[in-house]
Amino acid sequence: MGKLKRHPVGRQLVETLELPRDLFFGSVILTVTGQEEIIVENYKGILEYTRESIRLQTKTCRLFLSGKNLKIVYYTNDEMKITGFLEQITYEP
């Protein structure tokens, strides 16, 4: 069950006040540039990291990225940059 469904009052508040969902719920934000670069914001940790796949834990789900020559260029507590040839992005419960 998604976080929005578990907090119906919070969801209504966010929608009524038009607040950014990522601030209230900590939702993951992906900025994808073509198939060669992705910026991931609001992640919690790295679960798996190989040249073919990266699995991240976010506050609301797990994020699975697959491709070729994947590389984490940098990461901070809140965001990371991944380069390589991105083939698939999957959200896992």
Q: What pLDDT, on the 0 to 100 scale, is given for residue 4?
A: 46
Query: What pLDDT digit, counting tens, does each position of 37-81 carry?
Result: 999 998 999 999 999 999 999 988 999 999 999 999 999 998 999
Q: What pLDDT, on the 0 to 100 scale, is given for residue 93?
A: 85
Whole-number percent of the chain with pLDDT over 70: 72
The residues, ordered by sequence, that sit 6+ positions from 66 with a Cβ below 8 Å of its Cβ are 52, 53, 86, 87, 88, 90
Domains and CATH numbers, the chain: 20-92 (2.60.40.2000)
CA neighbor of 85 nearest in space, from 72, 71, 68: 68
Q: What pLDDT, on the 0 to 100 scale, is given for residue 78?
A: 86
| pLDDT, mean over the chain | 84
Q: How far is CA 38 from CA 16, 47, 48, 70, 85, in A?
A: 31, 17, 16, 10, 10
- Is residue 85 predicted with pLDDT exceeding 70? yes
